């Protein structure tokens, strides 16, 4: 096993769109899958969600992590871990960032999976509350990665 260089970590982050978000809720760690887009220019991860314990937890403790793995076999994999701070977005800025998220994920999906979905609901969870989605970003503070057979 070896450490990945920063550019390798960024490459994996940029070329994927599903990761595992880790956060604390009522003194217990949680890990949930999310659809994300890495905005390299702003060095942040964009996503959205509906109301629930995940968003409540991140509002109370904004320190989070995201893991992304590319696994071909037990002896051939790459895994990255991102630490950062959750920031809830609002108003026009939230709408702009949600648009950036949707277009970014579509582009990655086209390159990686040869798919180009029409609607955001084709590749990301729908909010069921009937209310507007909560758009957020994670400002990246630290990145690291490991690999085997790389």
> Longest Cα pair distance anywhere in the chain, in angstroms?
46
Mean pLDDT taken over the chain? 90
Percentage of residues of the chain with pLDDT beyond 90: 80
Residue 119 pLDDT: 55
State which CATH number among 3.40.50.1820, 3.90.1170.40, 2.30.110.10, 3.30.565.10 fits the domain covering 2-147. 2.30.110.10
Give the mean model confidence (pLDDT) for residues 31-58. 96
* pTM (predicted TM-score): 0.88
Q: Pick the residue with more confidence: 67 or 126? A: 67
pLDDT digits (tens, 9 = 90+) for 87-101: 999 999 999 999 999
* Alpha carbon distance, N-terminus to C-terminus of the chain: 9
Give the mean model confidence (pLDDT) for residues 117-126. 56
Task: State yes or no: pLDDT of 126 exceeds 80.
Answer: no
Distance CA 40, CA 10 (A): 8
73 in helix, strand or coil? strand
User: Would you say 67 and 22 are in contact if contact means Cβ atoms under 8 Å apart?
Assistant: yes
Looking at residue 36, what DSSP letter applies?
Answer: -
- Label residues 36-75 b or e (16+ Cβ within 10 Å = b): bbbbeeeebbbbbbbeeebbebbeeebebbbebbeeeeee
Task: Report domain extents, the chain.
Answer: 2-147
């Amino acid at each position: 096993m070896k450490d990945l260089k920063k550019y390798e970590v960024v490459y994996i982050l940029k070329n994927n769109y599903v990761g595992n978000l880790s956060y604390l809720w009522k003194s217990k760690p949680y890990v949930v899958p999310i659809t994300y887009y890495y905005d390299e220019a702003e060095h942040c991860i964009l996503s959205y969600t509906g109301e629930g314990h995940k968003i409540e937890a991140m509002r109370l403790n904004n320190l989070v992590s995201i893991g992304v793995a590319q696994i071909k076999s037990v002896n051939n994999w790459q895994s990255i871990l991102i630490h950062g701070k959750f920031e809830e977005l609002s108003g026009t800025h939230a709408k702009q960032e949600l648009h950036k998220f949707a277009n970014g994920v579509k582009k990655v999906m086209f390159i990686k999976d040869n798919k180009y979905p029409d609607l955001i609901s084709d590749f990301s969870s729908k909010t069921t509350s009937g209310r507007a989605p909560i758009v957020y970003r994670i400002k990246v503070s630290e990145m690291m990665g490991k690999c085997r057979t790389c």
